[in-house]
Amino acid sequence: MKADIHPKNYRMVIFKDMSCEQAFLTRSAAPSKETMVWTDGKEYPVIKLEVSNMSHPFYTGKMKLVDTAGRIDKFKNRYKKHQEKKEEKAS
């Protein structure tokens, strides 16, 4: 194993699932500019998640459409020119 490849600045961080407003406290080295007060009264950095085990259909057993910020539309717009060129070559 390589020595000194893991970060040294682990600290307690709140991960907040924005789709179901659930949160959990764990250790992380990920950077965050926002903070939040946890149930113990202390203030911790917050990392916002779009999907976690608390909202993912695999863990909840419920199908839920999660299309945050129009991912499908962004994808289609990004490859629109490529698709048009492909169609021009075909005709």
Model confidence at 81: pLDDT above 90: no
- 79 alpha-carbon distance from chain centroid: 23
Instruction: Give me the half-sphere count of Cα atoms (radius 13 Å) on the Cβ side of residue 88.
Output: 6
**How confident is the model over 38-80, as pLDDT tens digits?**
999 999 999 998 777 677 665 566 665 555 566 677 777 778 8
Q: Tell the burial category of 36 from Cβ atoms under 10 Å away from its Cβ (0-12, 13-18, 19+).
A: middle
The encoded tokens of residue 69 equal 């910020």
Residue 11 pLDDT > 90 = yes
Instruction: State the number of CA atoms in the 13 A half-sphere of 56 facing the CB.
Output: 6
What is the per-residue pLDDT for 56? Answer: 63
